[in-house]
């Protein structure tokens, strides 16, 4: 009984005096989410009606700005979360 009590005291003292820090790595973002938006499409016809041109420009403009906003917001969020995680682990 004395040996068990002595073992428990030594074990608990050793655990309390040498805490092991837990470091959790922040997950890496998928490469697809860290890429910039692709270049816009180009019209390859020598002559284009003005109405066609306006439609293509409007669609490209909307697509690009939507994509850019999503990518930039994702990257900003990820960077902030990674900094928070790194500060907690240090």
The number of folded domains in the chain is 1
Both tokens of 58, joined, read 């409007």
Q: Which residue segment(s) compose the domain that 10 sits in?
A: 2-89
Render pLDDT for 17-73 as a digit per residue (tens, 0 to 9). Answer: 556 666 777 777 777 777 777 778 788 888 889 999 998 899 899 988 888 888 888
- pTM, 2 dp: 0.50
DSSP state at residue 26 = P
User: Number of H helices and number of E strands within the chain?
Assistant: 3, 0
Dist. CA 56–CA 68, nearest whole Å = 18
Write down the pLDDT at residue 60: 92
């Amino acid at each position: 009984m004395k040996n068990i009590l002595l073992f428990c005291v030594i074990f608990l003292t050793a655990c309390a005096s040498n805490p092991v820090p837990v470091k959790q790595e922040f997950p890496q973002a998928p490469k697809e989410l860290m890429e910039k938006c692709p270049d816009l499409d180009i019209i390859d016809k020598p002559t284009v009606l003005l109405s066609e041109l306006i439609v293509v420009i409007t669609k490209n403009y909307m697509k690009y700005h939507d994509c850019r906003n999503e990518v930039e917001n994702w990257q900003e969020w990820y960077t902030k979360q990674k900094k928070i995680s790194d500060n907690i682990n240090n």
